[in-house]
Amino acid sequence: MSRSSTAVACLIVPSGVWDLRPLVDSIRATTPSITSVAAVWCGDPHLRPVAPTDLQVAWADLGLDEPTGLGWNRLLVALEPQPYEWARAAAAIARLRRGQVSMRPAGYRQKPPRALI
């Protein structure tokens, strides 16, 4: 991906309560090629948080088809958390079909966010 191309940052949001604002603000401040931020909820579907509207973060996994046919709920209970999170993120990114950056918010508590492009 060239520096002049645009990209969508796709945040992997693990189960729990997260303040996405510091990560979203950091992404927008340090990576001007990122034109929008999407998020993938990787917890219990009944506990999906409401994304603050002022952050302009959209859920990329709404209505996401599970590629194996087993269903996301079965995978949620069958897999360890991190493989499940990356499986959902990969499916959401494939559906978006643009240049993507994936980040897992849990990492920003200990280190500054880093992007894999």
Give the model confidence (pLDDT) of 5-36 as tens digits.
567 888 989 888 888 899 899 999 998 888 88
pLDDT, tens only, 30-65:
988 888 899 999 988 889 988 888 999 989 999 888
CA angle centred on 106, ends 103 and 108, rounded to 5°:
75
As a whole-number percent, the residues of the chain with pLDDT over 70 amount to 78
**Prediction pTM value:** 0.74
What count of other Cβ atoms lies within 10 Å of the Cβ of residue 23?
25
Whole-angstrom Cα distance, residue 98 to residue 96? 6
